[in-house]
Amino acid sequence: MTHPILVLWAVPRSMSTAFEKVMRTRGDLECFHEPFGEPWYSGPEAVAPLQRRGAVPSEYTFDDVLRRLRSAAEQGPVFSKDFPHYVLDRWDREVEGRPFADGMVHSFLIRDPRDQIASMRHKWDDLEERETGHAEQRALFDRLTAETGTPPPVVDADDLVDHPERVVAAWCDAVGIPHDPAALSWAPSHDTTEFSFYDGGSWHENLASSSGLARQPREYSVDHTHPDIADMVERALEHYDHLAVHRIGVPA
């Protein structure tokens, strides 16, 4: 029996690794952290911006990653958090005679780009627009909606941290798994490598010291009007707003 591969298609800096932490805390899912990021950044098929190439010590191909996910699903249910801009140009490929997305159950995690892009630029002052992920996220959302006639479930990062119980329960119901309220809290690990294959986990230091879903302190000011990102933010807002009307778990 092949089990489902639950894929949360997020954008970077959208609380997606915190959501992943909830899934890991459950203990009944084999979890993957941005597995398609490995071949996107490094290895024989790398397509990341040149300044980011080789950042990950990996020689996986995209097909290798898909095989890993499918192999895990032969043993039990799988959760994978990933970004559409890693895979969208490969969506129409078949791997071992099966469509790329065969067996996947799709959902989306969005974040207001005024916060998200400013957060990315704080880490990367040479940020490129294709690394922000909004256009690709909308393209994949629209494609799946057209194919099934029903929009996939959408979680908003602000809703997630403001109403974690309600939002996670709604997501679980939407993807067909039981909700486990106990998974919303955990003991701080202080080990950032648990959460990330990139840069020793430096992007997830707040999560490593956290004990649940909550807003994290910022060590930088948010300026989405900065000339280096203002146009990116304006374009991304159109995509964000398009998905935001489908948010689940928001208070009535």
Report yes or no: 37 and 83 within 8 Å, Cβ to Cβ: yes
Which domain covers residue 111, as residue numbers?
A: 5-244
What are 81's two structure tokens?
């958090």
Whether 228 is in a domain gets the answer yes
Phi, psi of 78, deg, nearest 5: -125, 140
Residues contacting residue 161 through CB under 8 Å, at least 6 positions apart: 15, 18, 213, 214, 215
Whether 114 is in a domain gets the answer yes
What pLDDT score was predicted for residue 191? 64
Whether 125 is in a domain gets the answer yes
Whether 250 is in a domain gets the answer no
Mean pLDDT by 10 residues, the chain (252 residues): 93 92 94 93 90 81 96 97 96 94 97 92 89 97 97 97 95 97 83 59 56 68 80 96 95 70
What pLDDT score was predicted for residue 206? 58
Whether 252 is in a domain gets the answer no
**Helix, strand, or coil (residue 103):** coil
The total domain count for the chain is 1
Whether 17 is in a domain gets the answer yes
Which CATH number characterizes residue 121's domain?
3.40.50.300
Report yes or no: 102 and 150 within 8 Å, Cβ to Cβ: no
From residue 25, give the alpha-carbon distance in Å to each of 30, 118, 129, 185, 208.
11, 29, 33, 8, 13
Whether 249 is in a domain gets the answer no
Q: How far is it, in rounded angstroms, from Cα 218 to Cα 34?
A: 24
* CB neighbourhood size of 201 (10 A): 18
What pLDDT score was predicted for residue 198? 54
Q: Are strands 94-95 and 5-9 parallel, antiparallel or unpaired?
A: unpaired
